[in-house]
Amino acid sequence: MTKSIKLQKIALSLARGAGHPDGEDRDGYEFLAPLTAERHIDADAWRLARHACSVHRIRDGDIVQRGILAHHPGGRGGATWSFDYSSASAVSEEIEEGYRLADRAFVVGEYVSIRDEDDGVLKTYRVSSVVPA
């Protein structure tokens, strides 16, 4: 019997910083991921449901890229979570790595950092919502 994987829809909004003192709700990400009871990304469940773990990159309120939540070798703890926008048929540099996302609890109000693929800058995002997908 296959275990039913429950995904959460997680929304991230750009946190306040230089150039955006109040943050920016229209810039961020929405992605689907299984979470543990402690609200961390569940790597074991992700392996079973990775085909369903999509991501949308949002700029100025519009979806500008679609991709997948990926788990790559390397990084702290032996793996790195990232948002991968490359097509299935080509190797691409279109990857935005999360900073220690495996250590982060996805709870409204908490913060995570993502390295922007456009300028390579590590930007901070606030978890703005977590709801069942």
Looking at every residue in the chain, the average pLDDT score rounds to 89
111 in a domain, yes or no?
Answer: yes
94 in a domain, yes or no?
Answer: yes
Number of domains forming the structure of the chain: 1
User: Cα(111)–Cα(28) distance, rounded to whole angstroms?
Assistant: 12
- What is residue 108's three-state secondary structure? coil
35 in a domain, yes or no?
Answer: yes
Residue 91 predicted with pLDDT over 50: no
Residue 75 predicted with pLDDT over 80: no
Range of the domain at 48: 7-132
User: How many percent of the chain have pLDDT more than 90?
Assistant: 71
122 falls in which pLDDT band (50, 70, 90)? very high
43 in a domain, yes or no?
Answer: yes
2 in a domain, yes or no?
Answer: no
pLDDT digits (tens, 9 = 90+) for 21-53: 899 999 999 999 999 999 999 999 999 999 999
β-partners of residue 114 are 98, 123
- pTM (predicted TM-score): 0.89
